[in-house]
């Protein structure tokens, strides 16, 4: 056993703990691998540490994951880019373990290192690595291989390029569906590095194979590839090669494939250009909007705004709007909810007149939907419509919807609507708010559910910020302070919370004159919970108010509380007193 100098001791421990029995310690050492590397120096890192890591890779996944991540940024510690290739062997083994997240991280790191390596190093080390992984005995290695071809390919010689393309095409036809899935996922990335001459021949034939795979899971990843390939191909090639595939996919027997198309279609429109979009993709999209599987309609409905943005308004009104009308009364609440979450975005696309004529009735019917999520989704995007047609046309229907949500028996629904109140307030304006919503905001302070009361207090703060202290002084503060006399201590506590949130917004003067007296009164409460919350609150008021006020009003009150019979009250009072002293000292 060697002796280690005292200052090196922490590093020595760190190194030893690479092999500790406790996984947390091993993990800790791996996370600090760069420190170990710097202590060992570049040469010994290359010659000892990296081989050591390559050999000791039968560890827990957590440790391997950390190792894969650290190695990705390890180039500086092995002596720079010219030695980067020494990092490949440990990552090679990590990219064939069976845990997916470790493999993915190792592939990430390989790509990161590969993209920095010198060209001849790539040829000597990285390309052989890609080939070895593609020929791996287990599917895990072959899965990882698919993810590094786009790094290996560009620096290869023409002959090797041909070989790499043929290897990738093998991977696309692998026996294991997992490998074919990986090949499908990475096809777009790989294609981006390939010369356009081969793109149309080799890549498109791989793509076609994948689109005809008998595993649904492979086909639906091929759908994702469509958009990526579409960006690479010339528009006319897109039309001849991709368009038929997309149209086929949109009528695939498997709803999962159609679901993917519904999610991706708007991206493909850009690739094929306006005319084929009109003739082929719009009809395909309309079919998806009317699909008999609800999941597909959900995906299609969720993209309706993005799709319409690509089309000209006439097409959207002519073809898409009728479907949207149908979807707004779809039998599945989830479809309606998906539609409600995006439909407001169509207003700017269609313009004022079309919105009023076509969309407004849909908004109004969705605002009356029996399912609260649908109504909430409409309300959450109100600002988008406000810009186009103004709020007046909606406000009549809006109020009953808000009131109903505000009184929904599910507290999560109430919580959601409270979150949107500041948005509503800003859109509807002070006048409307004062008339209709002010009372609701006060009502929530006395909700039965704590989360609602908490959100209500927070809401008041945000309203005060929105409309300013003067307005708050008139419309919030008196009403809130009135409630401090509520017979139930939990409600009194909510008021204290509201006061403490309002104080910073209201400023020093109002705090001293209006809020602080109420708090001081509350310090005489009979319930200890209120008293120690007063102590906590006062601590938060210290920075807001003047020092003289602290001395005159807050300190005496805290001193009194610090002699309270209740231990918790004393604790928080003393804590607050201490922080007063700290503030004094520092100033």
Indicate whether 43 belongs to the interface with other proteins (CB under 8 A): yes
Burial-class residue 558 by CB neighbours within 10 Å (0-12, 13-18, 19+): buried
Q: Which CB atom, from 38 or from 118, has the smaller least distance to other proteins?
A: 38
According to CB under 8 A, which one of 125, 181, 414, 531 is a site residue for other proteins?
Answer: 181
Beta carbons of 205 and 238 less than 8 angstroms apart: no
In angstroms, give the least distance from the CB of 178 to other proteins.
5
As a whole number of angstroms, the distance between CA 342 and CA 297 comes to 13
Tokens encoding 397: 């229907």
From 4-12, 84-92, 225-233, 495-503, span contacting other proteins (CB under 8 A): 4-12
Single out the residue of 139, 153, 285, 572 in contact with other proteins (rule: CB under 8 A): 139
Least distance between other proteins and beta carbon 138 (Å): 5
| Contacts by 407-411, CB closer than 8 A, 24 or more apart | 408/372, 410/372, 411/447, 411/449, 411/451, 411/452
Least distance to other proteins, CB of residue 118, Å: 23
The residues near 201 (Cβ < 8 Å, ≥ 6 apart) are: none
How far is Cα 573 from Cα 528, in angstroms, rounded to an integer?
A: 12
Assess contact for 107 and 143: CB atoms under 8 A: no
Compute the distance between CA of residue 183 and CA of residue 146 in angstroms, rounded to an integer. 5
Contacts of other proteins in 274-293 (CB under 8 A): 292-293
For residue 333, the minimal CB distance to other proteins (Å) is: 15
Contact criterion met (CB below 8 Å) for 36 and 74: no
Question: How many whole angstroms separate alpha carbon 578 and alpha carbon 587?
Answer: 14
Among the listed residues 98, 435, 482, 509, the single contact to other proteins using CB under 8 A? 98
For the chain, what's the residue count? 587
Nearest distance from C-beta of residue 222 to other proteins, angstroms: 14
49 near other proteins (CB under 8 A)? yes
CA distance 51 to 350: 63
For other proteins, what does the binding mask look like between residues 7 and 26, x meaning CB under 8 A?
xxxxxxxxxxxxxxxx--x-
Closest CA to 168 of 156, 159, 180: 180
Q: Are 561 and 569 in contact (CB under 8 A)?
A: yes
The reply to whether 135 sits near other proteins by the rule CB under 8 A is no
Stretch that binds other proteins, among 172-180, 430-438, 477-485, 537-545 (CB under 8 A): 172-180
Report in angstroms how near the CB of residue 539 gets to other proteins at its nearest. Answer: 29
How far CA 385 is from CA of 346, 392, 495, 565, in Å, comes to: 8, 11, 35, 58
* Shortest distance in whole angstroms from residue 147 CB to other proteins: 16
CA distance 378 to 365: 10
Taking the complex as a whole, how short is the minimal distance between the CB of residue 45 and other proteins, in angstroms?
Answer: 8
Q: Is 1 in the site for other proteins (CB under 8 A)?
A: yes
Which stretch in 53-61, 115-123, 192-200, 456-464 sits in contact with other proteins by CB under 8 A? 53-61
Two tokens, residue 62 = 């957590």
**Closer residue to other proteins in complex, CB, 108/568:** 108
Distance CA 54, CA 69 (A): 14
- Is 32 an interacting residue with respect to other proteins (CB under 8 A)? yes
Binding residue for other proteins (CB under 8 A) from 62, 224, 295, 408? Answer: 295
Helices (H), 468-512: 469-475, 477-482, 489-506, 508-510
Pick between residue 98 and residue 357 the one whose CB is nearest to other proteins. 98
CB of 299 to other proteins, least distance (A): 11
Non-local (6+) Cβ contacts of 324 within 8 A are 289, 301, 304, 339, 343, 346, 362
Distance, C-alpha 290 to centroid of its chain: 29
**Which lies closer to other proteins via its Cβ, residue 96 or residue 459?**
96
- Nearer CB in complex with other proteins: 182/519: 182
Select the residue interacting with other proteins from 33, 68, 71, 97 (CB under 8 A): 97
Selected from 52, 411, 432, 571, the binder of other proteins by CB under 8 A is: 52
Q: Which listed residue (123, 224, 255, 365) binds other proteins by CB under 8 A?
A: 255
Indicate the residue among 138 and 509 with the shorter CB distance to other proteins. Answer: 138
**186 interacts with other proteins by CB under 8 A:** no
- The nearest distance, CB 13 to other proteins, in angstroms, is 5
For other proteins, the closer CB: 140 or 511: 140
Choose between 129 and 271: whose C-beta lies nearer to other proteins: 129
Sign of CA dihedral 88, 90, 91, 92: positive
118 near other proteins, rule: CB under 8 A: no
Where b means 16+ CB within 10 Å and e means fewer, 13-43 reads ebbebbeeeeeebbbbbbebbeebbebbebe
Give the x-and-dash track for 191-230 against other proteins (CB under 8 A): -----------------------xxxx-------------
Helix (H) or strand (E) segment spanning residue 412: helix 411-432
| Kind and range of the H or E run holding 536 | helix 528-541
Instruction: Examine residue 4 and tell whether it contacts other proteins (CB under 8 A).
Output: yes
Which tokens is 437 given?
Answer: 């919503």
Nearer to other proteins, 24 or 485 (CB): 24
Residue 132 in the binding site for other proteins (CB under 8 A): no
Q: Measured in Å, how far apart are the chain's first and last C-alpha atoms?
A: 56
* Contacting range for other proteins; rule: CB under 8 A; set: 44-52, 165-173, 351-359, 366-374: 44-52
Count residues binding other proteins (CB under 8 A).
66
Among the residue ranges 136-144, 495-503, 510-518, 573-581, the one whose residues contact other proteins (CB under 8 A): 136-144
- CA torsion sign for 217, 218, 222, 225 is positive
Please report, as ranges, the residues that interact with other proteins according to CB under 8 A: 1-5, 7-22, 25, 28-29, 31-32, 35, 38-45, 48-49, 52, 55-56, 58, 96-100, 138-140, 176-178, 181, 214-217, 252-256, 292-295
């Amino acid at each position: 056993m060697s002796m280690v100098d005292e200052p090196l001791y922490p590093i020595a421990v760190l190194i030893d703990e690479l092999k500790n029995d406790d996984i947390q310690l091993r993990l800790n050492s791996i996370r600090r691998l760069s420190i170990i590397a710097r202590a060992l120096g570049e040469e010994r890192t290359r010659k000892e540490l990296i081989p050591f890591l390559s050999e000791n890779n039968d560890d827990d996944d957590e440790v391997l994951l950390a190792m894969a991540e650290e190695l990705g940024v390890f180039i500086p510690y092995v002596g720079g880019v010219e030695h980067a290739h020494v990092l490949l062997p440990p990552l090679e083994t990590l990219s064939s373990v069976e845990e997916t997240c470790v493999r993915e991280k190792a592939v990430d790191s390989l790509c990161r290192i590969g993209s920095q390596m010198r060209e001849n190093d790539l040829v000597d080390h990285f390309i052989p690595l890609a080939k070895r992984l593609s020929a791996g005995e287990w599917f895990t290695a072959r899965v990882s291989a698919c993810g590094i071809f786009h790094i290996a390919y560009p620096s290869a010689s023409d002959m090797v390029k041909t070989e790499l393309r043929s290897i990738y095409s093998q991977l696309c036809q692998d026996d294991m569906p997992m490998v074919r899935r990986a090949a499908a996922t990475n096809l777009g990335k790989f294609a981006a590095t390939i010369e356009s001459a081969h793109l149309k021949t080799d890549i498109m034939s791989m793509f076609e194979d994948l689109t005809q795979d008998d595993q649904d899971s492979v086909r639906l990843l091929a759908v994702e590839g469509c958009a990526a390939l579409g960006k690479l191909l010339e528009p006319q090639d897109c039309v001849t090669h991709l368009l038929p595939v997309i149209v086929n996919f949109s009528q695939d027997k498997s709803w999962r494939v159609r679901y993917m198309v519904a999610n991706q279609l708007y991206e493909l429109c850009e690739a094929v250009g306006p005319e084929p979009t009109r003739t082929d993709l719009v009809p395909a999209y309309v079919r998806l909007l009317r699909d008999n599987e609800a999941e597909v309609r959900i995906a299609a409905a969720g993209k309706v705004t993005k799709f319409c943005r690509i089309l000209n308004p006439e097409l959207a009104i002519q073809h898409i709007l009728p479907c949207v009308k149908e979807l707004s009364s779809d039998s599945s609440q989830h479809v309606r909810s998906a539609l409600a979450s995006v439909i407001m975005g169509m207003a700017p696309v269609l313009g004022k007149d079309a919105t009023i004529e076509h969309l407004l009735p849909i908004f109004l019917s969705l605002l009356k939907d029996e399912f609260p999520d649908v109504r909430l989704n409409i309300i959450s995007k109100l600002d988008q419509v406000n810009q186009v047609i103004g709020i007046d046309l909606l406000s009549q229907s809006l109020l009953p919807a808000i009131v109903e949500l505000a009184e929904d028996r599910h507290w999560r629904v109430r919580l959601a609507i409270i979150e949107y109140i500041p948005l509503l307030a800003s859109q509807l304006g002070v006048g409307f708010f004062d008339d209709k919503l002010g009372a609701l905001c006060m009502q929530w302070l006395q909700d039965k559910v704590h989360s609602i009361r908490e959100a209500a207090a927070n809401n008041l703060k945000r309203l005060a910020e929105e409309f300013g202290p003067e307005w708050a002084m008139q419309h919030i503060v008196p009403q809130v302070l009135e409630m401090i006399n509520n017979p139930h201590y939990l409600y009194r506590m909510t008021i204290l919370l509201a006061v403490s949130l309002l104080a910073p917004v209201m400023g020093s003067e109002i705090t001293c004159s209006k809020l602080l007296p109420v708090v001081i009164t509350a310090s005489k409460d009979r319930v200890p919970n209120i008293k120690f919350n007063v102590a906590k609150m006062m601590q938060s008021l210290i920075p807001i108010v003047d020092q003289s006020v602290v001395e005159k009003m807050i300190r005496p009150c805290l001193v009194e509380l610090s002699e309270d019979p209740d231990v918790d009250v004393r604790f928080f009072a003393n804590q607050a007193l201490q922080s007063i002293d700290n503030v004094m000292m520092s100033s």
